[in-house]
A and B are shown apart, each in its own frame.
Chain A
């Protein structure tokens, strides 16, 4: 790194348009399902139709001899490898071996000439099962003597990042917790104690593009085209499972049709590889929506929480115990649970806290990541209690918050990075944006909520910036373009450093064969961590240009400098950028930064029907420095609509362990009719982030903030509800119950 600088162009901070807008609008952007490779077969998966059973026998003889069928894969084909994967806990077989643990678990897979041939063959496979007891809900899995989803010791995966995994107990596969202060003493002496039990449902991320993989296994090793958010982690995991060196596993990642966490870590890759390996030809598997619902979902949760306060509105202590339904395999559950634990107390100045969060196996489909996990689970719970305290003390809920919120530099949880955001300023802004102090109409409520989310994951990202002999630049960086606009923002960052226009910088798709390592695309880390690697790569490139020019180079002469240096019309200069956990103490311990989840909402509820309409929302993107302000607003609007879905109507239902609403007909996501009349996305720039130019990430917090604010706004309208989603029936029943209660109280 050197101090070389070029003239700043203002490429950063400007709402330049997306570099991929034209290809997307013209239908030229290619996604995995749009691609085929020579000799490619189509793969289809036979899935278990019951939640818990031993496999007695699989008869695929008829299927194998059907027209177009090349092979049928079952668990017996994996005898030569250790067929388990799982980045946190290595508990999941690539395909069912001797038992199934959820309805929807792959039992057999067919590779055939056409998808129709493969579908026909699935119908001809006979599986005989011996049904076993199933624990398909949190209650059943946690009951004394519950049937165990897994027996035997927990085996850590390669990327759990959770320290020593504790012994598992019953169906609990991981527990996270901490305690500060003397909790019992503070509760015993407190003026006000609020407590309750809460339920949060499982939602489906619904990235419109489903999971899709093309895999090929040949003398070159394993090659995949896959829509994964974390290709480098998947590469390492597949290398370990299939016994290849990492260098012989290659993943190419084209555009993704959304991710939101559903495409984080390993999904359909191992099964597709196993099928291609058996077929001896490339295979493409493209999930249906129903299959993708069974491939990743959000964790359902139950929580018990209590909060103590003094009559003058001082928050004193909070105790949280919660259980997360991670399904039949741990997947990202342990990380979700740890993040939820960190978010659980809420960013207030407590005298005592106690947090315990359990990750629980059930006989349902595995739960992974969904935007703002952890915060979305518990922010509404804690903030409902803060509002209840304000009501009991006769105080303004906004003032109770501003009086207790942590200030920058204060500890958020024991150890790790202290708070790095101005929460008081943020919450004042969103409250003002929805007219907090305006007159209140009946059946209209306002909510304002605050939370924080440990963000950035592990800060390991590399990038290179390559200048061609005509002075144009190619940036290679492993962030997946899921729609967030990373390629545009990276072009802006490199252009800013090099004194160029963003349109002269090309950011290419990831190909792990050539693209430098990047840990993952998630946890709002791309601008902050990968962006810093891009900035350093551009700085390194600039330093090389300065070397060959013997002084500060002028952007207009870059190409000529390179041509002169090589004495030829070709050649290139490459700059390298690297980010790793650096410095000491908090930065090394994480999180990279605290993403703030601050929002406000105004809702209207119809007491006769229970229908909740979200009238106005405000979210706050506390980003340090905005690389592209319009992208930030547009991303927060997307998070807000997902927050509305989460709060008001989204829920995967599993009666008897079978997913009941597995189509978009009966799993409703927000449509244009759900857009609030007013949506404000406020941007705060205090240049207090660890990323390039003082930036820090955003994009997830808006979901937790908007959903929580809708729930607390409904409580403000007189209808506190402890279970999501806020369906008309649930809300209406609650209103009836409250009416009965008040009639009994005032005879």
Chain B
């Protein structure tokens, strides 16, 4: 089946199997390894990419379902202007340790921030990243960074 989509601003046309997952296509065929695989069951969020600006779990999305959509992975998002503030806040708060959850966190936060959908305060920050697991940081650093970003 043909997948025709925009990936990080570039038109992509691929012949994919009907059962192929978007995460595998991004990682194995397009070499975009920023999206990670962990749980495989849409719990951890480390495979998050943006489809038309919204975070989705690419481990549970068929590649063909991304047909016609505009996909952004961390590789693309990192060169967009909104990334700089997130990078600065996450770095200063040490919100990344091993870094495995980080691309998914950054994309989730970036998308919601861009849409003005993170309420200021602790609860808003928690709601923003409740679909992403991080086993290293205990979340406090991530919450501190997200609060700062939302309250700017």
Contacts and interface: CB of A to CB of B under 8 A. Distances in A.
Contact of B98 (A25, A116, A255, A641): A255
B97 A483 contact: yes
B124 to A, nearest CB: 12
Contact of A31 (B17, B36, B78, B83): B36
B140 A675 contact: yes
B55 interface: no
Q: Is the interface of B mostly helix, strand, loop or mixed?
A: loop
A27 interface: yes
- Chain A interface main SS type: loop
B99 A483 contact: yes
Q: How large is the interface on A (under 10, 10 to 19, 20 to 34, 35 or more residues)?
A: 35 or more
A675 B97 contact: no
A257 interface: yes
Residue in A25, A256, A289 whose Cβ sees the most chain B Cβ within 10 Å: A25
Contact of B99 (A17, A29, A286): A29
Contacts of B37: 33, 286
**B75, B92, B98: residue with the most chain A Cβ atoms closer than 10 Å:** B98
Contacts of A21: 87, 90-91, 94, 96
A663 B141 CA distance: 26
Contacts of A675: 126, 138-140, 143
A630 interface: yes
Given A25-B78, A289-B38, A18 B94 contact: yes
Nearest to A485: B97
Nearest to A116: B17
B82 interface: no
Interface in A629-654: 630-631, 634-642
Contacts of B138: 634, 636-642, 670, 675, 679
Contacts of A484: 97
B74 interface: yes
Contact of A24 (B92, B102, B130): B102
A501 interface: no
Interface string B67-84: 000000111001000010
Contacts of A670: 138-139
Interface string A1-33: 000000000000000011011111111111101
Contact of A257 (B17, B36, B41, B87): B36
B40 interface: yes
A631 B93 CA distance: 9
A25 B100 contact: no
A22 to B, nearest CB: 7
B11 interface: no
B97 A635 contact: yes
A208 B96 CA distance: 13
B118 interface: no
B99 A672 contact: no
Contact of A258 (B90, B136, B142): B136
Q: 8 nearest interchain CB pairs? A: A27-B34, A483-B98, A257-B100, A24-B99, A27-B74, A637-B138, A483-B97, A34-B33
Given A31-B100, A255-B99, A256-B98, 7 more contacts: A22-B87, A22-B91, A30-B33, A209-B100, A483-B136, A642-B138, A663-B41
